[in-house]
Amino acid sequence: MYLEFFGFREMPFSITPDTAFFMSRAGYQDALNVLLVALRGGEGFVKITGEVGTGKTLLCRTLMNRLGGEYLPAYIPNPYLKPMALFLSIADELRIPYPGNIGQHDFMKRLYQALHDFHRAGRRVVICLDEVQAMPVETLETLRLLTNLETEKSKLLQVVLFGQPELDRVLENPSIRQLRQRITFSFHLLPLNRVALDHYVRHRLAVAGHEGPDLFSRSAMDLMFGASGGIPRLVNILANKALMAAFGRGERRVDKAHMMLAVADTEDARRWAQIQKPRAGQRLFHWLYGMLGAMAPVAVFVAGLHALLPGNLTS
């Protein structure tokens, strides 16, 4: 919508986890380093936690992209799986063939054999599980039993758990205390602080193709920080809406007024900033579409005038 207006190649603040926008600072590189060191060391379980919207899925995808050719990663995004369903998902990710009518015993033999074959071929299997705080306890315990498979010197597979802080409470369950004891490395992702927010916004703008002075005023950045709590997903939502507001006014820099419209239109941001829900006429999209609608007749008039200029007339 505003790409050409601001000179972007792509949307800078999409909430889809795009590894091209991974920022190697503000704790994210530290978390990635912890993961790489743990996996290279052959550790069985590694845990990454963080609040909703702090970038766990982006970190997970970046990790899988950074693993060398000797690794064989499997990404399991759905936590609501019974034990057998989890094993089937792992087999599908690792492209281990199995007949549709196979029984559990025969399936497990096939899975174990495939893991041994991967190991002999020099491939290291890494299972990345997202949103693990919602995984059934019985499935977590079965996963631990699967990681018992090992040679005399190394595990046949390693597991990285990504979850919200509630995952720590899940792991306090006495029935899975053995799994908790096997988590040798862990890292907690924190929200961005004020300095990191500046780097984050500039980084995403630069990746999207922006060149030149800062697009966001300091007052707009201050308001965005206060309204987002430093949560990257909220930052993306607010920055995108503020750019839309500036575009709607034909202004090439985002100021506090644009950011206020974005905050007022974003429920979670209003909670941080303690702003009341706006009336319909004050909402960003109501205002923006009204602005664009008002601009449409002008655009038609200008286009018609341009057609009448010398050199644009046809005989």
Give residue-wise pLDDT tens across range 118-139. Answer: 999 999 999 999 999 999 999 9
The confidence band for 86, taking pLDDT boundaries of 50, 70 and 90, is very high
Q: So where are the chain's domains? A: 28-189, 193-297
The confidence band for 156, taking pLDDT boundaries of 50, 70 and 90, is confident
The confidence band for 285, taking pLDDT boundaries of 50, 70 and 90, is low
What the block records as the tokens of 14 is: 């999409």
- Mean pLDDT score of the chain: 85
The whole model's pTM is what? Answer: 0.83
Across the range 144-157, mean pLDDT stands at 77
* pLDDT in the model for residue 283: 53
Domain 193-297, CATH number (from 1.20.120, 1.10.150, 1.10.8, 1.10.3470): 1.10.8
Domain 28-189 has CATH 3.40.50.300: yes
- Convert the pLDDT of each residue in 202-217 to its tens digit: 999 999 999 989 999 9
Residue 152 has pLDDT above 70, yes or no: no
- Convert the pLDDT of each residue in 5-48 to its tens digit: 999 999 999 999 999 999 987 789 999 999 999 999 887 899 99
* pLDDT in the model for residue 27: 84
* The dihedral sign for the CA sequence 26, 28, 30, 31: positive
What the block records as the tokens of 224 is: 């965005």
Across the range 303-311, mean pLDDT stands at 43
